Amino acid sequence: MEKRISFIDENSRRLFFDEVYSFYKVSSWKNIYSNLSISRSVFEKYKSGYLTMPYSLYLVLISKFSNGFQQKFLNYVKILDSNWGSVKGGKVTYSKNKKLFDKGRQKAINVIKEKAITFDINMPLNRDLAYFIGLFVGDGFTNKYGFHYIFQFVGHKQELGFYKNEVIPMAKKLFNITPSLREDKMGNFIRVDYYSSCLFRLTTERFKINRGVKSRTVLIPEEILNGERRYLLAFIAGVYDAECCIFFDKRKKYQKPYPRIDLHMANLGILNQIKTILDEELIVSNVFIKNSRLLIYGDDNIRRFLKKVPIRNPKHVNKLKEQNLI
* Count of beta carbons in the 10 Å neighbourhood of residue 115: 6
Structure confidence at residue 234 as a pLDDT band (50, 70, 90): very high
When mean pLDDT is compared over 62-66, 109-113, 257-261, the highest value belongs to 257-261
Structure confidence at residue 43 as a pLDDT band (50, 70, 90): confident
Residue length of the chain:
326
Structure confidence at residue 62 as a pLDDT band (50, 70, 90): confident
Q: Which residues of 47-76 are buried (b: 16+ CB within 10 A; e: fewer)?
A: beeeebbbbebbeebbeebeebbbbbbbbb
For the stretch 256-274, pLDDT in tens is 889 999 999 989 999 999 9
When mean pLDDT is compared over 16-25, 52-61, 99-108, the highest value belongs to 52-61
For the stretch 296-309, pLDDT in tens is 999 999 999 999 99
User: Do 54 and 4 contact (CB within 8 A), yes or no?
Assistant: yes
pLDDT at 242 over 80: yes
Structure confidence at residue 189 as a pLDDT band (50, 70, 90): confident
pLDDT of 100 reads 55
pLDDT of 214 reads 81
* Helix (H) or strand (E) segment spanning residue 56: helix 55-61
* Helix (H) or strand (E) segment spanning residue 194: strand 189-194
Q: Where are the alpha helices (DSSP H) in 176-216?
A: 197-201
* Count of beta carbons in the 10 Å neighbourhood of residue 188: 12
Structure confidence at residue 19 as a pLDDT band (50, 70, 90): confident
Q: 79 pairs with which residues across the strands?
A: 5
Could you tell me whether strands 77-80 and 140-145 are parallel, antiparallel, or unpaired per DSSP bridges? unpaired
Residue 97: half-sphere exposure toward Cβ, Cα within 13 Å: 9
